[in-house]
Amino acid sequence: MALERESALAYASASQEDTERLGELVAPALADGDVLVLTGGLGVGKTHFTKGVARGLGDDHPVTSPTFALMAVHDGGRIPLFHFDLYRLEHAYELEDTGIFDVLGYEGACLLEWGEQFQDELTDEFLGVVIERMGETTRRITLEPHGSRAEALAQAIDDAVSQNIEGK
């Protein structure tokens, strides 16, 4: 099985590699200021998706979970990628220390793990990437745009997926 397009904005991943591949297909559509909020339970594949995005942007450095650093910057690609993991953050006031307000919505592409808990403090213009665990290695990945830029981004991603994989 390979990455499949189930319907508009909904994809089926059968492996870690498929999820990374989707990230790679997302990368060319990204522009400075784009915000992706990656949603899904522990170990669902948010970091692997990010790995694919970094590779797709042309940054070959390893992507690991920035759980302890809270933020990792991958600036070896076409545009900078800011990878946040807000899992350990308990209070919204702690966001200030992560540096997120310096870049969110302005510079590079921001990918957030566990960002939905602070949705009110962050931005209301973002592309939700919802990853659901269907089985041991199967995932459904759905794009949920919020705002007009996110709508356009989701459409560009969907076009890229349609053109690059088998399926509908």
Ligand X SMILES: Nc1ncnc2c1ncn2[C@@H]1O[C@H](COP(=O)(O)OP(=O)(O)OP(=O)(O)O)[C@@H](O)[C@H]1O
For ligand X, which is the closer residue by CB, 34 or 85? 85
Cβ neighbours of residue 7 closer than 8 Å, sequence gap 6 or more: 168
CB of 10 to ligand X, least distance (A): 14
CB of 113 to ligand X, least distance (A): 5
For Mg ion, which is the closer residue by CB, 52 or 160? 52
Record the tokens describing residue 94, joined without a space. Answer: 């702690």
Q: Is 23 exposed, middle or buried (0-12, 13-18, 19+ CB in 10 A)?
A: buried
Record the tokens describing residue 30, joined without a space. Answer: 């990204």
Q: Is 65 in the site for Mg ion (CB under 5 A)?
A: yes
Among 13, 47, 98, 123, contact with Mg ion (rule: CB under 5 A): 47
For ligand X, which is the closer residue by CB, 136 or 148? 136
Q: Which amino acid is located at 92 in the chain? A: A
